[in-house]
Structure 1
Amino acid sequence: MPVQSRRESPEMADVVVCGAGPGGAVTAALLAESGHRVVVVDGEVFPRFHIGESLLPLSNPIFERLGLDPKSLGVQSVQKHGVTFLSECNQRRARIEFKGAPGIKQPETMQVMRAGFDQLLLDRAQAKGARLIAPCQALGVDFDRPLPRVQLKDSVGREFAIDCRFVVDATGRKGVLARQLGLRRMDRGLRKAALFGHFKGIPFQDGRAAGDIRIILRPGQGWVWLIPLPGGVTSVGFVFDSGEKPKDLAESPSACLERWMGQLPLLQPFMEKLEVTNQPSWESDFSYSTRAYSGSNWLLVGDAGSFIDPVFSSGVLLALSGAVDAAGALDRALGANLGRGRGLLRAYGSEQQRRYRFYRRLVLKFYSPGFQEILFATESWPAGTRALVSALGGNDRPDMGTRLRLEALYLIAWLKNRSLSNR
């Protein structure tokens, strides 16, 4: 891309989307479909590796809105019907399916390799008219002008700028705009770390459970995810308190992960034949929120605004849902007067905060012993279980009856916590 001279006017766009992951790609696709000039910038070359491979059923309507058939997305996937919870010693097992849960009309979903999945969404954005500039680093945004000016640097270090009416930060944990504006707040109630990698040689479950994410509970230590992926690959991740990081984690995440896997009874029989397909890595203190999701001419989408915890696989759905909301708000704001536009963006921010609080509360319940006891006794609470499955499937706006049953389940978990603490 040519360098802009001082005399050369910056390019003009209606919206600049920083970040080409699911949140950024879907925001760009829907805005471009509505006829707006959209530029997407990302510092990486796609396709690229990413974790967060487990999707939720409420993603399906969003795929359809993009003109994508959820059952034949064009990327390799494993069909997912539900979730299997296991105790650490594999002595207790509980399985729940999304089918029949309130608010979930299309219960089948997928486990995907994110490289191909994210590329598919980005291709759809470009097909609808969004322009991609990558690799290209977003340096920041100058708001001290009549229009926001996004400062960029290309792969050879040349700097240039794009003026626009609105900026969308969809840069995930990087949070370019969120950090520039001092919006990010670390979640002190969820100080967790995760160590993860991809392996071949771990058998899937049988039948309809073959595509389930398996969540192995390790009381007092955290939990483990096992996500079945195409090609016989399994994503393995250990989540634990960030203050309990082993000394050799930073130096050798591979050795640390294999040691922990070898201590897990479910995986011990397969350790000798395991094949590493992606080098293990780790992240720490990944739970955070934001003081605001929107301003007069900017929005945060997906992980750029907040990330809660990977336990219920809500990350991709929150990015997709936020993208739909962002595109709707911006589409209307681009045709509205200044006051009306600001009101639309404020409403967007309020909705994202509400959704964040819903899932954060659910995650905090998961980490309580009483709630984990309920997970292994779902047959005792059929109505409450259906309400819980609705939430786990991505229904963050349950009807009144479902909401009351979910609250009843939370109350039972609280009573169990009190009972356990008095022993």
Structure 2
Amino acid sequence: MDKSRQNKVIIIGAGPSGSIAGALLRQKGYPVTILERQRFPRFSIGESLLPQCMEFIKAAGMLDAVVNAGFQFKNGAAFAYGDHYTEFDFEDKFSAGIGTTFQVQRGRFDALLADEAARMGVDIHWQMEVKSVDFSGPQTHLTVADTEGQVYDYTADFVLDASGFGRILPRLLDLESPSGFPVRQALFGHIEDRITDPKFDRNKILITVHPEHKDVWFWLIPFSNGRSSIGVVAEQTFYTPGEDYGAKLQGLIAQAPGLRRILQDAVFDDKINTLVGYSANVKSLYGKGYALLGNAGEFLDPVFSSGVTIAMKSATLASAVLDRQFRGESVDWEHDYAQPLKRGVDTFRVFVDAWYEGRFQDVIFHPNQQPEVKAMICSILAGYAWDQNNPYVKNARSRLDTLTELCRAGG
């Protein structure tokens, strides 16, 4: 490999946002190089996709590959709390668009998207880590190292940071900003689930609220091979430093009767991982010669599985703005990229806040749900958080506040 390479666009990271952005830019004829620090497949969370993702995958020309990959079909989300149970069928949503999706092992899914991007002509350089960047000149200069310590110089007209939790440019450019959320910690892993409960629907993610702590919740994401992803989320202070994460997770599951029954025969045969303080924000989503995609810019919380959707939305928006910029049009990255992206992120944020406050739980477990309102809520849970025709998107906070008051008053 030449130690000095010139590129039109460099994307840092080959995850969903990087692969989608790369494919979309290749469709427009631009040379694209992706620099990926790891070698795929590799483990990642964010395994329960939302239907909105399928629209972005379709636009990138990858839909057939994903549909034919054998992933677990997903048509909705189910919520459980004590004796309460409710579910949302995404095809009953208010917004137009695809209403089903998949639950995926991210190692295989991300590798599939990257392979599709490469098939379309995206040049992916694996196990290449960006060490420094210089945006001071007319072109961006990146210093990159491989696993053997060899150093390479890359030059690009524009850089998209799709590095996820690696957050390369936020770290190198001092863009990190507090998220505003409490520091939460997730314990998670894959299990052989051995689920035989006839009432359990493998076509839905199951979110279970802890019976005593309403801000502690579990996810159960079934895969197509008899395995599942299981995890628990709580504030960091809920855990004891140094405790056995596997034992802690199983102990918490035992405290939730419904989840304990579903997983009574499960085999915990894999490592239980942890992620602490994952919520993140930045001072700006763009700058001279760069833009931040997905988790590199902002990550809220895993509760509504919004991370991959936001990542793909950011890739779609940024690719469109960059295409216009390359064609000589006048673009405004704040107006054309940051603000549109944040509108959907802020909608998700309203519902995440309400979830941990217990307000949204009072809404979804209310016994007398109105079909029209449920369809509007369903659209947001399906990822259509940018649909301004939906009153619960356009006026998310005021609408949800009013709905919560009505539900708590017995309406």
Post-superposition Cα deviations, 1:314-345, rounded to whole Å, max 9, x if no partner, equal: 111111111111111111111216xx24x246
Secondary structure of the residue aligned to 1:156 is coil
Aligned to 2:222: 228
Cα shift readout 1:338-379 (whole Å, capped 9, x = no counterpart) = xx24x2465212222222212111111112223212111264
Q: TM-score, normalised by structure 2?
A: 0.92
Residue 292 of structure 1 corresponds to which residue in structure 2?
A: 284
Find the residue that maps to 1:307 and give its secondary structure. coil
After superposition, the Cα gap between the structure-2 partners of 1:38 and 1:263, relative to the gap in structure 1 and judged at 3 Å, is: same
Question: Is 1:279 aligned to 2:271, yes or no?
Answer: yes
| Preserved CA contact (<8 Å) 2:190 2:270 | yes
**Structure-2 residue corresponding to 1:184:** 176
Match of 2:247 in 1: 255
SS in 2 for 1:210: coil
Q: Does 1:381 align with 2:333?
A: no
In structure 2, C-alpha distance between the alignment counterparts of 1:335 and 1:405, rounded to whole Å: 35
Which residue is equivalent to 1:113? Answer: 105
Say if 1:17 and 1:167, in contact at 8 Å, map to a contact too.
yes
Q: Is 1:69 aligned to residue 76 of structure 2? A: no
RMSD: 2.4
- 1:271 CA displacement: 6.1
In structure 2, the residue matched to 1:194 is: 186
Moved more, 405-414 or 21-30: 405-414
Q: CA deviation at 1:197?
A: 0.9
Q: 1:355 to 1:31 in 2, by over 3 A?
A: same
* Map 1:345-364 → 2, pairs under 5 A: 347-364=336-353
> Which digits, 9 at most, give the CA deviation of each residue in 1:94-146, with x for residues without a partner?
11111131114321111111111111111111111111111111112112233
Q: What does residue 214 of structure 1 align with?
A: 206
Q: Is the 8 A contact 1:31 1:327 kept in 2?
A: yes
2:359 pairs with one of 354, 370, 385: 370
Q: Which of 50-59 and 68-77 deviates more?
A: 68-77
Distance 1:378 1:20, change over 3 A: farther
- The C-alpha deviation readout for 1:184-221, integer Å capped at 9, x for no partner, is 22223342111111111341765893211111112344
The count of residues paired between Structure 1 and Structure 2 equals 406
Structure 1 residues 48 and 65, CA gap change in structure 2 (3 angstroms): same
Q: Deviation per CA, 1:42-68, whole angstroms, max 9, x where unpaired? A: 110011111111011111222222223
Percent identical across equivalent pairs? 27
Per the alignment, residue 153 of structure 2 pairs with 161
Q: Which residue of 2 aligns with 1:40?
A: 34
2:195–2:263 contact (8 Å) kept in structure 1: no
Q: Distance in 2 between matches of 1:17 and 1:121?
A: 14
Alpha-carbon distance in structure 2 between the residues aligned to 1:380 and 1:33: 44
Cα deviation, residue 158, structure 1: 0.7
Runs of 5+ consecutive residues of structure 1 not aligned to the other structure: 5-9
How many angstroms apart in 2 are the aligned matches of 1:83 and 1:115? 22
Deviation at residue 277 of structure 1 after TM alignment: 4.6
- Does the 8 Å contact 1:168/1:301 carry over to 2? yes
SS at match of 2:228: strand
C-alpha change, 1:166 and 1:229, in structure 2 (3 Å) is: same
Q: CA deviation at 1:261?
A: 2.3
CA–CA distance in structure 2, aligned partners of residues 261 and 316 of structure 1: 26
TM-score (norm 1): 0.89
Quick check: 1:102–1:402 contact (8 Å CA) kept in 2?
Answer: no
Match of 2:258 among 249, 254, 266: 266
Contact 2:13 2:35 in 1 (8 A): yes
Deviations 1:254-274 (A, max 9, x none): 222222223332343476743
Structure 1 contact 33–129 (Cα < 8 Å) conserved: no
2:321 & 2:186 partners in 1: Cα distance?
A: 34
CA distance in 1 between counterparts of 2:395 and 2:171 reads 39
Contact 1:54 1:110 in 2 (8 A): yes
Identify the range of structure 1 (287-296 vs 397-406) with the bigger mean alpha-carbon deviation.
397-406
Aligned AA (2:42): R
> Over residues 162-200 of structure 1, what are the superposed CA-to-partner deviations in whole Å (9 max), with x where a residue is unaligned?
101101111011111012222222223342111111111
- Give the CA deviation at 1:72: 5.3
Q: Structure 1 residue 293: deviation in Å?
A: 0.7
**Counterparts of 1:362 and 1:75 in 2: how far apart (Å)?**
32
> In structure 2, the residue corresponding to 1:96 is in which secondary structure?
strand
* 1:152 aligned counterpart, secondary structure: strand
1:412 corresponds to 2:403: yes
Secondary structure of 2:116's match? Answer: helix
Quick check: 1:127 aligned with 2:119? yes
